[in-house]
Amino acid sequence: MAFLFENLDVYQKAIAFADEISDLTENFSKGNYYLTDQLNRAALSIATNIAEGNGRYSKADRKNFFRISRGSAFECVPILALCKRKKLVEEGKHKALKENLDEICKMLSGLINY
């Protein structure tokens, strides 16, 4: 049995993004643990807040969790920028990840405004 939120495209994209970040950060050096930890937490938070929001009964509660999810997506942007500056992420990969985040944010805005 699938939960309803698992059918949402934005949830699927958020899970894929978190998985991609997890794979990416596996190769970060030990000295960059703070970036690994923060980026993985923020990336996973996007999907977990979509799920938690869908478990709420009131529209206001759902919207709040979707806003938190969007905030987590925004949180990934400066962390990825720092990773790029430290040469942990190549330019092309950085651009692709930001494009994914932009798409996720637009979808979350749609959920918030729905």
Q: What pLDDT, in 10s, does the model give residues 79-114?
A: 999 999 999 999 999 999 999 999 999 999 999 998
The packing angle between helices 59-85 and 33-54, to 10°, is 160
Domain membership of residue 76 (yes or no) is yes
Contact 67, 77 (CB under 8 A): no
Question: 1: pLDDT confidence band, cut at 50, 70 and 90?
Answer: low
User: What pLDDT shows up at residue 51?
Assistant: 97
Q: Which amino acid is at 58?
A: S
Split into its structural domains, the chain has a count of 1
Residue 81 inside a domain? The answer is yes
Residue 67 domain flag: yes
Q: Domain of 30?
A: 6-113
Nearest of 18, 101, 8 to residue 54 by alpha carbon: 8
Residue among 41, 48, 43 at smallest CA distance from 100: 43
> Which residue, 101, 106, 112, is CA-closest to 17?
101
Q: What pLDDT, in 10s, does the model give residues 6-65?
A: 999 999 999 999 999 999 999 999 899 999 999 999 999 999 999 999 999 999 999 999
Indicate whether 1 belongs to any domain. Answer: no
User: CATH number of the domain that 73 lies in?
Assistant: 1.20.1440.60
